[in-house]
Copies of this chain bind each other. A is one copy, B any other.
Amino acid sequence: MQIAILAYHRMTALDAVGPYEVLSRLPNTMVHFVAEEPGPILTDTHGFHSRFALVADARLEDVPSPDIIVIPGGSTGTMEAMQSARTIGWLRAAHPTAQWTTSVCTGAFILGAAGLLQGLQATTHWASKDYLAQVGATYVAERFVRQGTIITAAGVSAGIDMALYIAEQVGGAELAQALQLAIEYDPQPPYATGALAQCAPTVIARALQAIRSAGGMDGAGEPA
């Protein structure tokens, strides 16, 4: 099985690495990080709070027919990817034969730019939820939303939950349970502040501040 995770500058690293860590442990699977140009890909905190980059190992065109597609979110780079005829063309061509076409966080807007969310329910990072209507989708405040072969996941960490669901669909419940144990995914978040509806306005305001100061996720950041 071939899995393509889209990589583009100013992407959010965990959006990609969460699913990668689950899906790369499926049997007989090769995961490629695909980009317009292979090589180092800056993350959305690069130049703000890090110089961190991931390495894309393949060109988009090298992986034309992946079985699973994962589109991560990011900051300003997400908008650039939405406007790239090459990225959107690759996604449009790859989607019909993929078993699963998925997004994490604001990666939903790249699916949207390819016209794949028209008339569907979908989710994305909470800070960007109001924009889903612009790509024809209806926001649902769930961890991930499946519509046929398309799955959209909520912000950043939600890709891990989605990937375990895909693991079950691909290889059955026992395999997915084993992969959950393999990554020791017994989450114990310190607070009940992981979802927008749980949070006080002061927490929401600070979260937006943290996102923006690190250049991330809603595209509003400026380099420090």
Contacts and interface: CB of A to CB of B under 8 A. Distances in A.
A220 interface: no
A60 B100 CA distance: 41
5 smallest CB-CB distances across A and B, nearest first, come from: A186-B194, A155-B184, A178-B206, A187-B187, A51-B57
A198 to B, nearest CB: 8
Interface stretch (A79-87, A91-99, A210-218): A210-218
Interface stretch (A25-33, A114-122, A131-139): A25-33
A21 B204 CA distance: 18
A165 to B, nearest CB: 6
Nearest to A7: B52
B193 A178 contact: yes
B199 A187 contact: no
A185 B178 CA distance: 22
B25 A21 contact: no
Contacts of A143: 186, 188
Contact of A180 (B53, B176, B190, B216): B190
Given A175-B206, A184-B155, A52 B25 contact: no
B168 A190 contact: yes
A60 to B, nearest CB: 15
A190 B206 contact: no
A182 to B, nearest CB: 5
Nearest to A126: B184
B193 A181 contact: yes
Interface string A128-159: 00000000000000010000000000111110
Given A24-B50, A181-B207, 12 more contacts: A24-B45, A31-B52, A52-B55, A53-B54, A158-B184, A160-B187, A161-B188, A164-B190, A173-B191, A177-B206, A180-B191, A181-B204
Contacts of A54: 52-55
Contacts of A20: 13-14, 45, 50, 52
Contacts of A161: 187-190
Contacts of A164: 189-191
B194 A25 contact: no
A208 to B, nearest CB: 8
